[in-house]
Amino acid sequence: MEHVLLGWPEAGPTLTLDWRSFSYAGKFVMSNTGKALVRTGEATGPPVGDDGAAAADIVAAAAFNEDRTDSSVCWIRYITVREDRRGEGIGPDLAAFVAARARDRGYDRARIAVNNPFAYQALYRAGFRFTGEETGVAELVLDRPLGEGSGAEEQTSDRARETYQTGLDIYRERADADDGPSLSADEREFLAEKAGSDPPVPVDSRG
């Protein structure tokens, strides 16, 4: 598979995705974020169809821009993986790819907010860590330093495990709250399986 950086926000890149197969497809037609994608290379047409058609070989996409108050931070706003390719590690690979490109551009950190335990796990695999912060829409904020060697930090220390589990505990508490957001049976099973475990080993930076 091929990782492609379509452009940074100032270039105004847009991307048409099939809304039936991709979450947040409508966010990618906006030109105010940078875009990156993963494609299989099995189809012949361009990655972005001028006629509004989605390219058949796109399996994942990311949108990102600079933090509004901190020019050293690159925010990944959305990552989406085609429905039939989820669970293959494509999302973490793409997040790591975007982080590497942000590092090359001079950013000090990459940041993202996630709203479910599966996305939390995926971003941990991309080298991100829970900051302890939440957004106003009940998302957990994860952060990845972009300095040399930052993607390979030790993940088996007590502190790393505690930080990782703190984020998962927030999802567990929400699931137990009477007025909390509902979790699927798969999400509840995942949270139970990960109790007390170390964070996952990060993928490479796709650099």
Instruction: For the chain, give the mean pLDDT.
Output: 87
d(CA 102, CA 53): 29
- 30 and 101, same structural domain? yes
- 29 and 77, same structural domain? yes
Domain that holds residue 75: 1-107
The beta strand positions in the chain, using DSSP E, are 2-7, 34-39, 58-66, 73-81, 109-114, 129-134, 140-145
- 100 and 32, same structural domain? yes
DSSP letter, residue 202: P
What element of type H or E holds 114? strand 109-114
- 66 and 45, same structural domain? yes
Total of domains in the chain: 2
Name residue, tokens 């090359």: 104
Note the pLDDT of residue 151: 47
Side by side, which strands form the sheet with 140-145?
2-7, 34-39, 58-66, 73-81, 109-114, 140-145, 129-134
What's the sign of the alpha-carbon dihedral 37, 109, 92, 18?
Answer: negative
Identify which of 35-44, 48-57, 161-170 has the greatest average pLDDT: 161-170
Q: Does residue 194 fall inside a structural domain?
A: yes
Which tokens go with 115? 């709203």
Note the pLDDT of residue 155: 54
* Among 79, 49, 54, CA closest to 64: 79
CATH number of residue 103's parent domain: 3.40.630
d(CA 21, CA 80): 9
Note the pLDDT of residue 52: 44
Average pLDDT over residues 23-49: 80
d(CA 7, CA 11): 6
Identify which of 13-17, 127-131, 135-139 has the greatest average pLDDT: 127-131
Q: Does residue 173 fall inside a structural domain?
A: yes
**148-199: pLDDT as tens digits:** 655 444 555 888 999 999 999 999 988 776 665 678 889 999 999 999 999 9
Q: Does residue 143 fall inside a structural domain?
A: no
**79-96: pLDDT as tens digits:** 999 999 999 999 999 999
Note the pLDDT of residue 180: 59
d(CA 61, CA 90): 10
Residue 12 has a CB neighbour count (10 Å cut-off) of 13
Average pLDDT over residues 118-125: 95
- 93 and 42, same structural domain? yes
